[in-house]
């Protein structure tokens, strides 16, 4: 009998446990219920009173507010409308509590009686939450919070968001209110990823809130970056690829800020054995077709320009995780002809010393560093470690990385930094071999209005030599030698600043002595931070610049910004003294295809312009006799280039060259790509660079004169092939 009774009790327990498990599974299977995500312009059906909450959900940060982060989507509740001095309330319509928990994002002021969100049940306040801030120096980041509402399940409730404070942190931010049965503890657990393939992939949006990510393995940070994650495929500009080669089979953890972004990272993260590129790569509507641009992401300064073993190396400031500037990394491309480029992937990645700012590269042919051999010399790259952008902020320093396999892989020098901190934001080392003194020279930006010069015997240890005064100088210095009028026995040195302003003078390996005033090299709007190649085998001094712009030329593209066409520098004697000339490299001519040639035609005021049908990509050469004309206009697919010979003025896109010498013959060359225009006047003495998204439907070229007659001696229009056809 006793055994029978025990068996009955055991059966009862098992049945109860099974019933409880079924009930728990039923509860866990209930989907989340969204109370509100505020992704609209109006608060309705919520009721707003007072001024604090404005006319509707805020599209992020409000005027004069610190950057607001941690919200989801594009909008949130933000009571900073017109500042902290406004007050008000925002009340939800009644809803039924039908899950165990209410979870939500909250930030802003931390005053329980003045800035808070509360839950009202039967008219009584039963739960209350605030932001974290009560003192200056806080953060506008929203973070997860939750209420356990199991005791009220089935009841009708109202949420009220209150801002009664007019002093500091007198506002509150709220977003993404959800009813859920999931344990809120999941919101605070770190994300862990089992690495099964070489690349982790995250989708990048063209805008939206930033997420700060650190990927760690065994407490070591192996990657860190900021990213604007696309919440769905419609927002995705490109997929960022995080190379975790060597970590396959291991588990990495993520430190994600704001913590509210954990879910979107987990949801959108993918893995792949290869990077994923846009399906129409290099042929997108606003992709430059004969100028370099990165496959994806932002680019700015060209870096590390060096020739080695048949290849021109172009490194560049790169954001692999976004369309705007950030996460500075050295991207890398190579070319055998300066025109067709193959992108190899990112070469030098951020580390604990900081992100990777601009610099230069050399070939250590004599193995002065001991990092390579005489038969297999190292390529040594010098860059600024931007410590202010590290995950543990530190000063800016100058560091070295090197490659022993033609630049395909890179190792950072164990003795970094090679030049320690000197002054705030010291940066952009340009290194080259000085043959006369048999030493390496480094030019470094340390302060405005001067550049610092260092020397080294081995690339590892650097000695300060002198400071070169340079009014208006700012970042990205260059120092290089050029023959005067192609005479190798008569040379001068050019000291260069990011803007293209430069000094002409002499350099003895220790000191630069200027012999000119500060001179211009660029009269357009979109050329900055250029650099010249080291080791070019035929002795040419070849330059490439960043076509800096607001990015509007690349609407909805997976990349942002582009480089100029490579240009050859020459130093020539003019009526004003020595001047620097620039001209597109001869290799560009290999792209020429169809050609329009017109000789000897006259332009008269009042006559219709001469009009020609042309293609999309153009290399235009024109020589004119200005005669009595006051203005000659070359209208290039809707963009006018105006020459005023009597004034010595050349105008385009609101920019202006003045003081040009009067001449019987005026020549100009114009390069036209999908998103850029480069002008070289009077054999390249005057250069104008512009970013401009040309109208694809306008394929006309017009020439006209005003105020008198002018003669066009020759007009040659070459249509160019795309460099991406290979």
- For residues 577 and 679, the answer to whether their CB atoms sit within 8 Å is no
- For residues 492 and 515, the answer to whether their CB atoms sit within 8 Å is yes
Instruction: Sheet with 592-603: list strands edge to edge.
Output: 592-603, 710-720, 618-625, 666-673, 676-681, 686-691
- For residues 297 and 281, the answer to whether their CB atoms sit within 8 Å is no
From residue 532, give the alpha-carbon distance in Å to each of 245, 495, 543.
33, 12, 4
Catalytic site positions: 301
Kindly state the greatest CA–CA separation across the chain.
127
Q: Which residues contact 283 (CB under 8 A, 6 or more apart)?
A: 724
- H/E segment holding residue 15: helix 2-28
Listing DSSP states for 65-113 in one string gives PPPPBS--SS-BEE--TTSTT--EEEEPPPEE--SSEEEEEEEEB--TT
- For residues 526 and 547, the answer to whether their CB atoms sit within 8 Å is yes
Tell me the C-alpha distance between 410 and 380, whole Å: 9
Tell me the C-alpha distance between 402 and 304, whole Å: 11
- For residues 530 and 543, the answer to whether their CB atoms sit within 8 Å is yes
Tell me the C-alpha distance between 508 and 439, whole Å: 11
Which 3 state secondary structure label does DSSP give 722? coil
Tell me the C-alpha distance between 83 and 69, whole Å: 18
- For residues 79 and 88, the answer to whether their CB atoms sit within 8 Å is yes
End-to-end CA distance of the chain: 90
Which structure tokens are listed for 259?
């913590």
Listing DSSP states for 269-292 in one string gives -EEESS----TTTT-STT--SSS-
- H/E segment holding residue 20: helix 2-28
**Residue 543: closest CA among 524, 563, 517:** 563
From residue 161, give the alpha-carbon distance in Å to each of 87, 108, 168, 492.
11, 12, 18, 70
Tell me the C-alpha distance between 276 and 274, whole Å: 6
**Residue 65: closest CA among 80, 52, 54:** 80
Q: Which residues contact 146 (CB under 8 A, 6 or more apart)?
A: 101, 102, 103, 104, 184, 187
């Amino acid at each position: 009998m006793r055994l029978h009774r025990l068996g009955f009790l055991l059966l009862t327990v098992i049945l109860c446990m099974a019933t409880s498990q079924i009930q728990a599974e039923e509860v866990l299977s209930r989907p989340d219920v969204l109370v509100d995500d505020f992704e609209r312009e109006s608060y309705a059906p919520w009721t707003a009173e007072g001024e604090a909450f404005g006319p509707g959900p805020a599209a992020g940060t409000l005027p004069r507010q610190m950057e607001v982060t941690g919200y989801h989507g594009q909008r949130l509740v933000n009571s900073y409308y017109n500042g902290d001095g406004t007050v008000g309330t925002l009340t939800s319509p009644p809803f039924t509590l039908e899950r165990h928990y209410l979870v939500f994002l909250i930030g802003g002021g931390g005053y329980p009686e003045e800035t808070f969100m509360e839950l009202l049940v039967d008219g009584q306040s039963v739960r209350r939450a605030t932001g974290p801030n009560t003192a200056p120096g806080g953060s506008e980041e929203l973070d997860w919070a939750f209420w356990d509402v199991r005791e009220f399940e089935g009841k009708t409730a109202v949420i009220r968001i209150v801002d009664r404070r007019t002093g500091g942190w007198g506002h509150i931010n709220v977003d993404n209110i959800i009813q859920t049965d999931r344990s809120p503890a999941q919101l605070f657990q770190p994300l862990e990823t089992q690495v099964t393939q070489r690349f982790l992939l995250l989708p990048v949006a063209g805008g939206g809130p930033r997420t700060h990510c650190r990927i760690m393995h065994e407490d070591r940070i192996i990657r860190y970056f900021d990213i604007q994650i696309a919440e769905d495929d419609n927002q995705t500009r490109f997929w960022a690829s995080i190379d975790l080669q060597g970590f396959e089979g291991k588990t990495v953890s993520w430190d994600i800020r704001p913590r509210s972004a954990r879910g979107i990272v987990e949801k959108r993260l993918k893995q792949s054995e290869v990077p994923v590129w846009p399906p129409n790569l290099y042929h997108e509507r606003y992709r430059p077709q004969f100028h370099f641009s990165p496959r994806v992401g932002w680019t700015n300064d060209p870096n590390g320009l060096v020739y080695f073993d048949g290849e021109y190396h172009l490194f560049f400031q790169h954001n692999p995780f976004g369309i705007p500037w950030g996460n500075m990394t050295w991207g890398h491309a190579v070319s055998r002809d300066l025109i067709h480029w193959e992108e190899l992937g990112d070469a030098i990645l951020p580390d604990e010393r900081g992100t990777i700012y601009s610099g230069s590269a050399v070939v250590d042919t004599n193995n002065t560093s001991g990092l390579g051999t005489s038969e297999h010399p190292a390529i040594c790259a010098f860059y600024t470690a931007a410590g202010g952008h590290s995950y543990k902020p530190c000063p800016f320093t100058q560091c070295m990385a090197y490659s022993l396999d033609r630049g395909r892989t890179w190792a950072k020098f164990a003795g970094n930094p090679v030049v320690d901190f000197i002054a705030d934001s010291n940066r952009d080392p340009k290194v080259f071999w000085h043959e006369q003194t048999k030493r390496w020279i480094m030019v470094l930006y340390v302060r405005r209005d001067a550049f610092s010069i260092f020397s080294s015997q081995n690339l590892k240890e650097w000695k300060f030599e002198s400071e070169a005064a340079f009014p208006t100088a700012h970042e990205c210095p260059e120092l290089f030698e050029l023959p005067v009028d192609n005479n190798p026995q008569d040379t001068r040195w050019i000291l260069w600043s990011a803007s293209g302003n430069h000094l002409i003078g002499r350099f003895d390996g220790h000191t630069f002595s200027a012999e000119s005033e500060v001179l211009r090299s660029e009269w357009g709007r979109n050329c900055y931070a250029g650099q010249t190649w080291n080791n070019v085998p035929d002795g040419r001094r070849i330059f490439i610049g960043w076509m800096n712009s607001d990015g509007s030329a690349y609407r909805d593209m997976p990349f942002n910004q582009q480089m100029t066409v490579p240009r050859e520098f020459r130093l020539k004697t003019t009526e004003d003294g020595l001047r620097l000339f620039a001209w597109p490299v001869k290799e560009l001519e290999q792209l020429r295809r169809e050609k329009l040639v017109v000789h000897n035609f006259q332009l008269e005021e009042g006559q219709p312009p001469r009009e020609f049908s042309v293609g999309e990509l153009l290399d235009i050469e024109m020589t004119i006799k200005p005669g009595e004309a006051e203005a000659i206009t070359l209208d290039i697919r809707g963009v006018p280039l105006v020459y005023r010979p009597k004034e010595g003025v050349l105008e385009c896109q609101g920019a202006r060259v003045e003081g040009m010498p009067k001449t019987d013959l005026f020549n100009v060359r114009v390069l036209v790509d999908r998103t850029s225009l480069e002008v070289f006047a009077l054999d390249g003495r005057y250069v104008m660079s512009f970013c401009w998204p040309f109208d694809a439907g306008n394929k006309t070229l017009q020439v006209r004169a005003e105020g008198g007659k002018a003669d066009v001696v020759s007009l040659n229009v070459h249509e160019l092939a795309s460099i991406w056809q290979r």
